Amino acid sequence: MKKIYLLLALTLFFACDSNTYEDLEEPTTVDGPVTYQNTVKAIVDANCIRCHSPGGVSSFRPLTTYQEVKDAVQNTNLLDRIQRQNGETGQMPQTGRMPQDKINLILQWRADGLPEN
């Protein structure tokens, strides 16, 4: 329960700092634990697949499966890169920073042990 309040507090704190139209969307809320299937997959599909899939610009690092996303979170600087501000070198996605609530959900997924289902 404390995690939900912390996530809510962080979302409200960062909601005032809007960099893109996507930041103005309603915050994503999750009932139950944050898992790849119920939360993270949709975020990755919406923000990463365009480049990180076979035939994409960054096809050397595909993010199309649970295992690929899990490995990227555990073994690369993915979390650092998605938290960089627009214009910073290496910021992902290159098209513009994801809304903070989406980043918070990925961070929560990692903190929860990267569950698949």
Q: What is the pLDDT of residues 35-52, one digit of tens each?
A: 999 999 999 999 999 999
Q: Within 13 Å, how many C-alpha atoms sit on residue 54's CB side? A: 1
pLDDT at 60: 80
By residue count, the chain amounts to: 117
Structural contact between residues 102 and 47, judged by C-beta atoms closer than 8 angstroms: yes
Sequence-separated (6 or more) residues with CB below 8 Å from residue 102? 28, 43, 47
Query: Which residue type is seen at 97?
Result: R
Q: What is the pLDDT of residues 50-78, one digit of tens each?
A: 999 988 887 789 999 999 999 999 999 99
Structural contact between residues 79 and 91, judged by C-beta atoms closer than 8 angstroms: no
